[in-house]
Amino acid sequence: MNTHNHHDVLIIGSGAAGLTLALSLANQAKVAVLSKGALNEGSTWFAQGGIAAVLDNQDSVEAHVADTLDAGAGLCHEDSVRFTVERSKAAIEWLIEQGVEFTKQQGGDDYHLTQEGGHSHRRIIHSADATGKAVHSTLIERIIAHPNIDVFEHHIAVDLITEPDHVSRQLRVSGAYTYNRDTECVSVFQAKSVVMATGGASKVYLYSSNPDSACGDGIAMAWRAGCRIANMEFNQFHPTCLYHPKAGSFLVTEALRGEGALLKLPSGERFMDKFDERGELAPRDIVARAIDHEMKRLGSDCLFLDISHKPEAFITEHFPTVKARCLEFGIDITRDAIPVVPAAHYTCGGVVVNQNGQTDLQNLYAIGETSFTGLHGANRMASNSLLECIVYAKSAAEHIASSLSSIPTPSAAPAWDASRVTDSDEDVVISHNWDEIRRFMWDYVGIVRTHKRLERATHRIKLLQKEILEYYTNHKVSNDLIELRNLALVAELIIRSASQRKESRGLHYSLDYPKQAAVARDTILVPTNFAAQAIFVHN
């Protein structure tokens, strides 16, 4: 059955970015929010640390800007950094107005602020160690209660719908084809403005801290529709994720290393001191690189993080969550070393947007992890990402609200045509290709890259994309097929971006080009159907 849904604004994604936008617009517009799983199945729910903002009198916008620029290794766009940081206090105030309960100082009314790597001041506001859950559950409650917001769970957007704009003589986006996971049908969603808030693409790697939704769908859809994509080579890896076939994505907090946990080879030997004089306390990217190096050298599936030399009472008091989670898999961290691998954690690149969240296509916006605003440069500073979600959702909302009345109602889009495809005959094609992409991306385009590895990856992705396209053209779509097609495209964009960068900078490290180039440049990929439409940003 093919249904048509009409709204003023279609938001694809229900994380911090999508929900903030929905709530900011819903008093003026009829809004649809799509979520490919349940509403809380994005990265937002899992965020632990907190949100960076200038909230303390001792802190300043200048200091937050300087720290972010420093972390970004010369590639941040200072205007975007300033734009974000200047709005950080208002973003937090808005979250508090929505009802988010942040942790307060013991016995006081002031909020407790923590400090994380790269930040020169205490500026991370948080809700204990589960900030994402506190923010997300509050926003979810609010959108469910709002009469102007229609929520569609288990709906995965497949592709954008475009139509000609007769005034500008350019294409404008007017909706999306959407597959309903429950009914297995594709419907048409149309709206005057469409917003991509689909999160990152870290699932393209074998090991990831992200939930299953992070396939880069929005980046792939925007590229296919004709938008530029930038800086996809900058993938942030968290050094220690629990390695167990049934553990899913569980981060082992850096605080363990802070309290003396040691990284060890399978033989029990320490190795970090060979890589950095700070040993286990070296910055995240150095630790991740060292683990990757040793795993590749030894052909080992994982390495080990050991805190068992500390008193049992200390471990239990400080790390109850890690202890409990590991025990579920038979690992007693008071006695055993924890098997760990680094894991893809954050996608710094994405769909090129300006400060209103506008993409290259008329009426199409991108916000949150799926977008490229220029804030993160070559390395995201901890806790700046949720901030970016809120700030850009708010600025996109303002821009959409001011332009809706001048946008014509979209013309009726053609229904999805499934008349020439057959049922999938062999789902093993999908599962095999899915695994193969994630494995070779890990081995060849992961934490440490070389020219040869990237060449191998280029060769592999071309073959796989041919096979996936052939399968997609001839068979009915399914959730896994939609995600696989996007994952393959995002993998291609990462490989192309990494191959173009002939230097090591921030999160991109190449053994063939270990030095940083004198001039910092973004890697901007331009699709063949790119029509210079909304002319503004970052050239």
According to CB under 6 A, which one of 50, 175, 374, 506 is a site residue for ligand FAD?
Answer: 50
Restricting to residues 63-92, name those near ligand FAD by CB under 6 A.
Answer: none
284 is catalytic: yes
Restricting to residues 246-285, name those near ligand FAD by CB under 6 A.
Answer: 251
Q: What is the largest CA-CA distance in the chain?
A: 72
Q: How far is the CB of 13 from ligand FAD (least distance, A)?
A: 3
According to CB under 6 A, which one of 35, 88, 240, 363 is a site residue for ligand FAD?
Answer: 35
Instruction: Please report whether residue 18 would count as binding ligand FAD according to CB under 6 A.
Output: yes
According to CB under 6 A, which one of 43, 190, 253, 355 is a site residue for ligand FAD?
Answer: 43
In angstroms, the CA 405 to CA 407 distance is 6
In 3-state terms, what secondary structure has residue 288?
helix
Q: How far is the CB of 95 from ligand FAD (least distance, A)?
A: 12
**46 vs 243, beta carbon nearer ligand FAD:** 46
Instruction: Please report whether residue 46 would count as binding ligand FAD according to CB under 6 A.
Output: yes
Q: How far is the CB of 202 from ligand FAD (least distance, A)?
A: 7
E strand map for 215-291: 229-230, 235-242, 262-264
**50 vs 506, beta carbon nearer ligand FAD:** 50
- The H or E element that residue 148 is part of is none
Instruction: Please report whether residue 242 would count as binding ligand FAD according to CB under 6 A.
Output: no
Calculate the dihedral angle through the C-alpha atoms of 101, 103, 109, 113, rounding to the nearest 10 degrees.
-130
Q: How far is the CB of 151 from ligand FAD (least distance, A)?
A: 11
Q: How far is the CB of 499 from ligand FAD (least distance, A)?
A: 25
CA triple 51-52-55, angle to 5 deg: 110
According to CB under 6 A, which one of 132, 175, 226, 357 is a site residue for ligand FAD?
Answer: 132
CB atoms within 10 A of CB 468: 22
In angstroms, the CA 448 to CA 132 distance is 30
User: CA torsion sign, 317 to 322 to 327 to 333?
Assistant: negative
- The H or E element that residue 402 is part of is helix 384-403
Q: Would you give the binding string for ligand FAD spanning residues 388-427, x where CB under 6 A is met?
A: -x--------------------------------------
Instruction: Please report whether residue 288 would count as binding ligand FAD according to CB under 6 A.
Output: no
Instruction: Please report whether residue 217 would count as binding ligand FAD according to CB under 6 A.
Output: yes
Chain centroid, CA 98 distance in Å: 24
Catalytic residue among 284, 438, 453, 485: 284
Instruction: Please report whether residue 181 would count as binding ligand FAD according to CB under 6 A.
Output: no
The answer to whether the beta carbons of residues 44 and 136 sit under 8 Å apart is yes
Q: How far is the CB of 53 from ligand FAD (least distance, A)?
A: 10
Alpha helices in 27-130 (DSSP H): 61-71, 78-86, 88-98
Q: How many residues bind ligand FAD (CB under 6 A)?
A: 41
In angstroms, the CA 20 to CA 219 distance is 20
Burial 496-532 (b: 16+ CB within 10 A, else e): bbbbebebbbbbbbbeebeeeeeebebbbbebeeeee
E strand map for 289-337: 303-306
The answer to whether the beta carbons of residues 41 and 211 sit under 8 Å apart is yes
Restricting to residues 339-358, name those near ligand FAD by CB under 6 A.
Answer: 346
**194 vs 461, beta carbon nearer ligand FAD:** 194
Instruction: Please report whether residue 47 would count as binding ligand FAD according to CB under 6 A.
Output: yes
Q: How far is the CB of 132 from ligand FAD (least distance, A)?
A: 5
Backbone angles phi, psi at 42, to 5 degrees: -105, -175
**365 vs 444, beta carbon nearer ligand FAD:** 365
Q: Would you give the binding string for ligand FAD spanning residues 355-394, x where CB under 6 A is met?
A: -------------xxx------------x-xx--x-----
User: CA torsion sign, 352 to 353 to 359 to 360?
Assistant: negative
Q: Which two tokens stand for residue 471?
A: 């399968």
Restricting to residues 191-210, name those near ligand FAD by CB under 6 A.
Answer: 197-199, 209-210
Q: Would you give the binding string for ligand FAD spanning residues 92-131, x where CB under 6 A is met?
A: ---------------------------------------x
In angstroms, the CA 39 to CA 307 distance is 36
Beta bridge partners of 186: 179
Beta bridge partners of 286: none
Q: How far is the CB of 48 from ligand FAD (least distance, A)?
A: 5
Q: How far is the CB of 268 from ligand FAD (least distance, A)?
A: 29
Q: Would you give the binding string for ligand FAD spanning residues 148-167, x where CB under 6 A is met?
A: --------xx----------
What is the DSSP code (8-state) at residue 109? Answer: S
Instruction: Please report whether residue 24 would count as binding ligand FAD according to CB under 6 A.
Output: no
The answer to whether the beta carbons of residues 205 and 490 sit under 8 Å apart is no
**End-to-end distance of the chain based on CA atoms, in angstroms?**
44
Instruction: Please report whether residue 34 would count as binding ligand FAD according to CB under 6 A.
Output: yes
According to CB under 6 A, which one of 7, 36, 64, 376 is a site residue for ligand FAD?
Answer: 36
The answer to whether the beta carbons of residues 16 and 44 sit under 8 Å apart is yes
Backbone angles phi, psi at 425, to 5 degrees: -90, -35
Positions marked catalytic: 284
Site residues (CB under 6 A) for ligand FAD?
Answer: 12-18, 34-37, 41-44, 46-51, 131-132, 156-157, 197-199, 209-210, 213, 217, 251, 346, 368-370, 383, 385-386, 389
